[in-house]
Structure 1
Amino acid sequence: MLESEYCEVCVGKMAMSRFELKSGWTFKKGTRNSEAEYLPANDLPTEIHLDLLKNKKIADPFKDLNELSVRWIGDEAWTYQTTFTTPPDYGKPGITTALKFGGLDTFAHVFLNGETLFDSENMFIEHVVDVTDKLATDNGGEQVLEIMFESARQKGLELVKEHKEHRFIVHQTEISRGPVRKAQYDWGWDWGPILMTAGPWKPIVLETFESKIVDVWVEYDVDDDLKQAEGKVFVEYEGLGKLEADISKDGQSLEKLDEFKSTNKSNVMSADFELPDASLWWPRGYGSQPLYTISVSLRSVPTSTKPETVIDTVDKTIGFRKVELIQEDDSHGTSFYFRVNNVDIFCGGSCWIPPDSFLTRTKPSSYRAWIRQAAEGNQTMVRVWGGGIYEDDSLFEAADEFGVVIWQDFAFACANYPANRPYLASVETEARQNVRRLRNHPSLIVWAGNNEDYQIVERYGLEYNYATDKDPESWLKTNFPARYIYEYLLPKVIREETKGVPYHPSSPFGNGISTTLKVDPTVGDIHQWNVWHGTMEPYQRLPRMAGRFVSEFGMEAYPHVTTLAKSITNPDDRYPGSMAMDFRNKAIGHERRLVSYVAENFRIRYDLEGFTHLTQVMQADALTWAYKSWRRDWKQSGNRKVGGVLVWQLNDCWPTMSWAVVDYYGVPKPAYYAIKRTLEPLVVGVQRKVNDWTVRLADELWQRDTSHIDMRKVWEDVQFDVWVASNMRESINGNITIKFISVRTGTEVVDPLERAVRIEPNGTTEVFESEKVDVPNAQDPDTPFDTSKADPFVIYTTLTIHDKQVASDISWPEPIKYLDFPDRGVQVEYSEDKRKIFVSAKKPVKGFVFAEDEGLKLSDNGFDLVPGERTEVHVQGNTAGNLTWRYVGGL
């Protein structure tokens, strides 16, 4: 290595250098003493599967059934090696040399020049090791760094046997993940493959310094009038020097700080600041996202012979906001919603899993694209799920920029975790490091202790007495010792390491009980899985299945056929139910569940294109029922029945069919657009009363439930509601128009309704409730029902403000499968530059979907059509003339 390769912050005796050990790595199978051949590795960060792929030693695990052919990798040990030269200032008096390991996956033994440097057993922990006096001075100053990774799976099995005092229970995977601090989804999940990674998954940096800045953070308060932010800038440092800081916005300096004082923490100084006219950071849809820069420099103290020099600098970007989690008794139970800057925020959004089974492939630009896509889909919140990782800084930087608020779970999911003393010490280090790393981000508004671990308590009857047992030490003696982590250790870390961010013990959690199995709609957040899982309710029942905050629910669908073709390479395998297709979908019972929901609602098709389309329209329908109904339940201030809705899930970690609304390649399914439409700042909703098309008869004469189709109730007993939902900060006057349009003819079957409405701010305004339609030509109830004489109709509602239509919604007679869709009269027209598409129809159309692929961006998709209206779609990255489409009942 050339001396010039080192990045120096300054020159002279006080030099501070940071050099990333990025290239020149090799790897081999086995321990460092194995005789296996070293092979070239990728630049760091990397992981073993990617290095084996680089050397063509394995097939791509994302294609066909290849996942099975790489399972052996997770049962082996692997060794990585590199060399580096002694840094220029090494050995000078007062100079410290350190190696910083950002993250090692997972059971790692690190050797420097053949000597043990340290061991690690937690993927989520950073290690900084002083190597002053440990570098070799012979051999031209060349240093040998080796890292040997044990099998996390095998080590996990050993730990289970070692800790017989603990009852290891895990869901979704084999038991070996229980005692291992590693991304839990690596063991596979019901949407992802089993790919047990290993390797240096974060950067490794060599530092040389006399003094340096270790960390910078800010603690502040926003006054009640939201005018002023005041607080302290904290700086942790090593060595000697003088601290200065500058607070700026948009490149303009606002306040300079040079009076840093000691704190009660060693090597931590602080300086007070006051911004009398602070611009506050807001969630998207509620305001702008101004960001400030805190620039801190560590300077040498000048003497008569030495001028002042800059030793080290750190910039941190922050936003000022006030966050509260409102849990107050009300007429519905106990509320659960977020208030930011004194404004109640409806958190519509999605849950996030790691975007790849191989984390090092996701670059900052990809994280930004994902969060931007969520924001452009009108999503206000993204929940980072506990079975993945504490996400990369670039995800939070993007969320800060686009105004997407983040719910971050701690890295625990669906298990009864141990709490022996070494494990607790490791978890505490993990928690403190990651809370410190993320605490400056204004987008991060809540930490949750885990994902669904209290469901384990509930299902297996573990010892848990929330009401009377308040002694944390006693919890460690129960068969649910992880309560100590979630209700004592983690909230303690939050209190001590950050300010202004609420903590929630679990997702879901409500007053000491899980709300997953025994859904309690009155308190806490819930995971509503009685659609798809559980009792498999019809999704038309979702409006009455809400809780105070729905942090998980979902419906599966296929991705677009182009995505399937990339992972299933044999065209003969591309049909619903093929071995390759079933292998790729990891959800238990997915064949029965997906087909059941499609067949219950649509005339089923089994060709790949037709079935794909129906699953997508069905998923979009299900999510529409949920989002628009639960947003309606946001209601008004003091009466927030539902505080937020987060679909499971936004994304995938590999190409598959799952609950995701955007596939692995970033291609949206129609459900993504359905959510986008329901979360517009101003929406109108129409919903008819659903009369189950299979009604149950059960009384003292009927000794069991039976099913009978009653089409009179479905098509002729029509009642509907209309409402407007707004997140505007002021009242608005508008006009509602409701039309009743025949599915068969496209003509209006009864006269339209109109009503002026004053739309209340940040809430729901009810316009019509249980309004009954006098269906024309209703049939005599004493004669057999003749479907040929019936005239089912859609209810089409528009909202107009200042003579401009700003929102619309449509309600269909359910189920769609009973309707005929001949001769829709669909027209697709293009602008001259082919960047706009205009879609119209002469009769109502259900589920108009353009086929999408990578590189294409549409403003809307998966929409319905009514006569007299024309839908405009903007196209980027492709020309409209290349698109194909289909709709229910037609291509």
Structure 2
Amino acid sequence: MSKHSTPLTSGWTLRLSGGEGPGGLDGLRRDGVPARVPGCAHGDLLAAGVIEDPYLGRNELDAAWVGRADWRYDTVLPRVPDGFERTDLVFEGLDTVAAVALDGAAVGTTRNMHRSYRFDVTGRAREGAALSVAFTSAYTEAEALRDLLGPRPNAYPEPFNYIRKMASSFGWDWGPTLVTAGIWRPVRLESWSTARLASVRPLVTVADGTGRVEIRLDLERTVPGEGRALRAAVEIAGRSADVAIPAGATSAAVTVDVPDPDLWWPRGYGDQPLHTCETVLTDAETGAVLDTWERRLGFRTVRLDQTEDAHGTAFTIEVNGTPVFARGVNWIPDDALPARVTPDRYRRRLTQAAAAGVNLVRVWGGGIYEDRAFYDACDELGLLVWQDFLFACAAYPEEQPLRSEVEAEARENVVRLMPHPSLVLWNGNNENLWGFRDWEWEERLAGDSWGEGYYLGLLPRVVAELDPTRPYYPGSPWSGSWDRHPNDPAHGTSHFWEVWNRRDHAGYLDDVPRFAAEFGWQAPPAYATLREALPGEELEPASPGMLHHQKAEDGQGKLDRGLAHHFAPPATFDDWHYLTQLNQARAIATGVAHWRSHWPVCAGTVVWQLNDCWPVTSWAAIDGAGRPKPLYHELRRLYADRLLTLQTRGGARGSARVLAVDNQSDEPWEGRARVRRMRADGTVLAEDALPFAVPPRTVATLPLPAETAEITDRHKEFLVADADGLRDVVLGGADHEFAYPAAELDLDVRPVPEGHAVAITARTFVRDLLLQADRLDPSAEADQGLMTLLPGETRTVTVRGTGPGGLDEQRVRAALFSVNTAQATRPVETSRTT
């Protein structure tokens, strides 16, 4: 008889079992509230009306007591099937410090959110037995270990580096402080006999046209060291193999060769064929099926090119021998209460990423090892996954009990995730090697452990042992050696945060990194998201709710200083909101376009960040309500296979203007680019037609003739380059210096099957026109973002989700923004410059 699984998803109650809280909680201590499993205490208290939604207003502060309290989940077991030798109680995830009991008798304890747990409850698991899971506050555990092991440097004033829990639960510069507790992943009773598959490790390789799947099996037997002879059979892609397992043996290996397999490729490089691999464990004598394991695998090779060359040390991901320019985004937990993220939500967010041209998603080290649904979606969408081990922005003690937890966690998750062909890189940590060198950690630590032994010792050993088919890199940023600065742009991975923190986004132009793994610029979320999150508040950049939903140090000040480089101070909140969102998109465009034009020296850009976990002003392209910001639409342009941008290169007189024709597609790109120097009134001052022929995966830079390239009046002239529907526009100076004409627009609004089509015709030069569809209806979305139109040009924007009512011209005009309207036109003196 095959094993039997009984989910334990219903009948749970949550009770307050310790700690202080607001008054009126006697009922919560005595009777509790219904609990959802999987879930967390915050979610159950919110559903029961005990706390207000912590995402709204400043309610987060009123819910702080929840993370300091102790909680207990209780249920009774259903009927347990007869006829099995063993019954296990299996928790796929407990958050975090828990004691499990059956009928009051201890079953086991846990102290790691990132592991699963299996407890033998044979003979004790019976129908009606009382199951309880008592959670001690993560603060209690973390603070006790801090007292025991001594202080360690930390980027935030919370003890997340002393507990194996989602670090960002304790707050981040984009996230709320909601220190969760609960049964956050599924729990079940599992009954089995004779033996089961304790772990299955598929090592997938391709060599000389043949795909090979080597399945490494670890077995658990009901009687350790004894038991019956077994057989394991593996089938994939129409091929199969099996192996006899002697009585008492607890490991085995089966290899299947697949001639000429269809290869799995990242999106934009080929298809993503996936093959179901089934492993079946049977009793050798009776043939009875004891256990099965099934996953979808993909045949591909991956290599990290770290060749030293004239530019430094490369960091280029190669898939199937092909170097890939990584068009990446950083991923954080999609909800501060991660149990709420469903497979559909993963799919929706990752589909948004793929639609924006993204081909790599970095799972950041302050979050979680995501659910299988996340990696399944990446497999299908062709999104490469860079997976951090979970260490971020802090010194992590290497003493017990943390060290054994780190190793167990790493071993389990390497095995759990390695079936996914999308996973191409294991990364040791986020910013900790850099922090040791640059953030005064070395002096403060005075020889105490801080995590180096994990990143340069333990973790690479675990990966080499369990998953030798994938590269491991010690951290990001990391230059490959302590002989160099950890964040040296010429070597390995680099993070660029001084630009946002202290400079203008033009600072991205100062470097050509080998791989830009983090850089970003903040902006507020969509207007409708702000209205939902801050009900009744009069919105101002420094209003109480806006400041509470801005977690970065001096975040609003940095936004305003960033605007000041380019724009006159905005007169209204709506203008401020539009301009900060515009400046975010322009900042990322500055970096990505510059670095992408230097391929293959620069082999990737990973924007911070794709998503948000709640409604907040942050670096995200998609806000906490799932609404795209203008940056999202700009990524669609920047990460398209073909990109046309005006750049500068060193020349005889300093720097010369060039046109970068960037072809990351697998087909040649031939055409003719039209480059014009124009006046704001639409007059063409100079024009050139530049023919180009760019091979696949190649960038060409075309010098511009001086007559076209040299702007002589920065107040009234600009350059525009067009080819095959692509456009780039460059002013002669800052926007606040430019004499923008009043935006004159003709609108034609008409219903179409998808919603409404808005045809916009410009009668003047209109810079960065944006239709904020969510101002028309909170559920509405436009299919285009920022647009720059020349006099006489028409663009049509399709708006979906506007509800049953129609749209009229007046409503649409109220939702249209441009630099022309956000910046009051002021008379300026004409000057001639070169």
* Identical positions, percent: 31
Instruction: Check conservation: 2:18, 2:69, Cα contact below 8 A.
Output: no
Q: Does 1:389 align with 2:379?
A: no
SS class of match (2:489):
coil
Q: Equivalent residue for 2:601? A: 641
Q: Which of 840, 847, 870 is the equivalent residue of 2:768? A: 847
Q: Which of 395, 412, 426 is the equivalent residue of 1:433? A: 412
Q: Equivalent residue for 1:185? A: 168
Instruction: Check conservation: 1:409, 1:449, Cα contact below 8 A.
Output: yes
Q: Does 1:823 align with 2:709?
A: no
Q: Does 1:68 align with 2:68?
A: no
How far residue 23 of structure 1 moved from its aligned partner, in angstroms, is: 0.8
Query: Once the two structures are superposed, what CA deviation does each residue of 1:119-174 show, in whole Å capped at 9, x if it has no partner?
Result: 111111111111113335xxxx411111111111122111111123xx41111232
How far residue 876 of structure 1 moved from its aligned partner, in angstroms, is: 3.8
Q: Does 1:79 align with 2:75?
A: no
SS class of match (2:531):
helix
Q: Which of 204, 207, 220 is the equivalent residue of 2:204? A: 220
Q: Equivalent residue for 1:16? A: 3
TM-score (norm 1): 0.84
Paired residue type of 1:171: A
Q: Label 1:519 to 1:436 Cα distance change in 2 as closer, same or farther (>3 A).
A: closer
Query: Once the two structures are superposed, what CA deviation does each residue of 1:712-752 show, in whole Å capped at 9, x if it has no partner?
Result: x9xxx995210111112343322121122222x122122x1
Q: Equivalent residue for 2:42? A: 49
Query: For residues 353 and 451 of structure 1, what CA distance do their matches in structure 2 show?
Result: 12
Q: Equivalent residue for 1:637? A: none
Q: Equivalent residue for 1:657? A: 617
Paired residue type of 1:541: G
Instruction: Check conservation: 2:2, 2:288, Cα contact below 8 A.
Output: no
Instruction: Check conservation: 2:46, 2:53, Cα contact below 8 A.
Output: yes
Q: Equivalent residue for 1:697? A: none
Paired residue type of 2:617: M
Q: Equivalent residue for 2:472? A: 503
Instruction: Check conservation: 2:688, 2:708, Cα contact below 8 A.
Output: no
Q: Does 1:757 align with 2:743?
A: no
How far residue 870 of structure 1 moved from its aligned partner, in angstroms, is: 3.4
Query: For residues 843 and 544 of structure 1, what CA distance do their matches in structure 2 show?
Result: 34
Instruction: Check conservation: 1:718, 1:775, Cα contact below 8 A.
Output: no
Query: For residues 263 and 840 of structure 1, what CA distance do their matches in structure 2 show?
Result: 78
Paired residue type of 1:562: A
SS class of match (1:171):
coil
SS class of match (2:481):
coil
Instruction: Check conservation: 2:677, 2:717, Cα contact below 8 A.
Output: yes
The 5 Å alignment of 1:418-429 reads 418-429=397-408
SS class of match (1:390):
coil
Query: For residues 351 and 371 of structure 2, what CA distance do their matches in structure 1 show?
Result: 15
Paired residue type of 1:315: E
Instruction: Check conservation: 2:622, 2:629, Cα contact below 8 A.
Output: yes
Instruction: Check conservation: 2:783, 2:797, Cα contact below 8 A.
Output: yes
Q: Does 1:626 align with 2:611?
A: no
Paired residue type of 2:555: H
Query: For residues 246 and 837 of structure 1, what CA distance do their matches in structure 2 show?
Result: 54
Q: Equivalent residue for 1:543? A: 509
Q: Does 1:244 align with 2:233?
A: yes
Q: Equivalent residue for 1:527? A: 495
Q: Does 1:271 align with 2:254?
A: yes
Instruction: Check conservation: 2:673, 2:690, Cα contact below 8 A.
Output: yes
Q: Would you say how many aligned residue pairs link Structure 1 and Structure 2?
A: 792
TM-score (norm 2): 0.90
Query: For residues 265 and 417 of structure 1, what CA distance do their matches in structure 2 show?
Result: 40
Paired residue type of 1:530: E
Query: For residues 453 and 348 of structure 1, what CA distance do their matches in structure 2 show?
Result: 24
How far residue 603 of structure 1 moved from its aligned partner, in angstroms, is: 2.5
Q: Label 1:301 to 1:266 Cα distance change in 2 as closer, same or farther (>3 A).
A: closer
Q: Equivalent residue for 1:158? A: 144
SS class of match (1:372):
helix
How far residue 417 of structure 1 moved from its aligned partner, in angstroms, is: 0.6
Query: For residues 183 and 725 of structure 2, what CA distance do their matches in structure 1 show?
Result: 51
Query: Once the two structures are superposed, what CA deviation does each residue of 1:595-620 show, in whole Å capped at 9, x if it has no partner?
Result: 11112211222422211101011111
Q: Equivalent residue for 2:22? A: none
Paired residue type of 1:531: V
Query: Once the two structures are superposed, what CA deviation does each residue of 1:852-885 show, in whole Å capped at 9, x if it has no partner?
Result: 4464443321222223543344444447937532
Query: For residues 261 and 830 of structure 1, what CA distance do their matches in structure 2 show?
Result: 71
Q: Label 1:485 to 1:718 Cα distance change in 2 as closer, same or farther (>3 A).
A: closer
Moved more, 266-275 or 141-150: 266-275
How far residue 577 of structure 1 moved from its aligned partner, in angstroms, is: 0.8
Moved more, 678-687 or 110-119: 678-687
Q: Equivalent residue for 1:783? A: none
Q: Equivalent residue for 1:58? A: 51
Query: Once the two structures are superposed, what CA deviation does each residue of 1:553-584 show, in whole Å capped at 9, x if it has no partner?
Result: 11111111100011101233x11111111111
Query: For residues 607 and 177 of structure 1, what CA distance do their matches in structure 2 show?
Result: 40
SS class of match (1:593):
helix
Q: Which of 130, 154, 159 is the equivalent residue of 1:144? A: 130
Q: Equivalent residue for 1:472? A: none
Q: Equivalent residue for 1:443? A: 422
Query: For residues 78 and 232 of structure 1, what CA distance do their matches in structure 2 show?
Result: 44
Q: Equivalent residue for 1:698? A: none
Q: Equivalent residue for 1:740? A: 677
Moved more, 387-396 or 597-606: 597-606
SS class of match (2:565):
helix
Instruction: Check conservation: 2:35, 2:73, Cα contact below 8 A.
Output: no
Q: Does 1:109 align with 2:75?
A: no
Query: For residues 606 and 186 of structure 1, what CA distance do their matches in structure 2 show?
Result: 37
Q: Equivalent residue for 1:863? A: 787
Query: For residues 705 and 162 of structure 2, what CA distance do their matches in structure 1 show?
Result: 54
Q: Does 1:410 align with 2:389?
A: yes
Q: Equivalent residue for 2:453? A: 484
Query: Once the two structures are superposed, what CA deviation does each residue of 1:178-200 show, in whole Å capped at 9, x if it has no partner?
Result: 21111111111111111111111
How far residue 329 of structure 1 moved from its aligned partner, in angstroms, is: 1.1
How far residue 846 of structure 1 moved from its aligned partner, in angstroms, is: 1.6
Query: For residues 451 and 631 of structure 2, what CA distance do their matches in structure 1 show?
Result: 37
Query: For residues 242 and 98 of structure 1, what CA distance do their matches in structure 2 show?
Result: 23
The 5 Å alignment of 1:301-340 reads 301=284, 308-340=287-319
Q: Equivalent residue for 1:727? A: 664
Paired residue type of 2:819: V
SS class of match (1:582):
helix
Query: Once the two structures are superposed, what CA deviation does each residue of 1:276-306 show, in whole Å capped at 9, x if it has no partner?
Result: 1211111111111111111223344565xxx
Q: Equivalent residue for 2:720? A: 796
Paired residue type of 1:158: A
Q: Equivalent residue for 2:631? A: 671
Query: For residues 68 and 514 of structure 1, what CA distance do their matches in structure 2 show?
Result: 45
Instruction: Check conservation: 1:681, 1:728, Cα contact below 8 A.
Output: yes
Q: Equivalent residue for 2:116? A: 126
Query: Once the two structures are superposed, what CA deviation does each residue of 1:348-405 show, in whole Å capped at 9, x if it has no partner?
Result: 1211111111011110100011111111000111111101111111111111111111
Q: Does 1:568 align with 2:492?
A: no
Paired residue type of 2:529: T
List gaps (5 residues or longer) in structure 1: 1-13, 249-253, 465-475, 635-639, 691-712, 779-786, 800-804
Q: Label 1:739 to 1:477 Cα distance change in 2 as closer, same or farther (>3 A).
A: closer
Query: For residues 747 and 773 of structure 1, what CA distance do their matches in structure 2 show?
Result: 13
Q: Does 1:885 align with 2:809?
A: no
Paired residue type of 2:260: D
Q: Label 1:313 to 1:228 Cα distance change in 2 as closer, same or farther (>3 A).
A: same
Instruction: Check conservation: 1:452, 1:508, Cα contact below 8 A.
Output: yes
How far residue 335 of structure 1 moved from its aligned partner, in angstroms, is: 0.9
Q: Equivalent residue for 2:85? A: 95
Query: Once the two structures are superposed, what CA deviation does each residue of 1:767-792 show, in whole Å capped at 9, x if it has no partner?
Result: 1168454769x5xxxxxxxx8xx762
Query: For residues 413 and 460 of structure 2, what CA distance do their matches in structure 1 show?
Result: 14
Q: Equivalent residue for 2:23? A: none
Q: Label 1:617 to 1:202 Cα distance change in 2 as closer, same or farther (>3 A).
A: same
Query: For residues 811 and 505 of structure 1, what CA distance do their matches in structure 2 show?
Result: 40
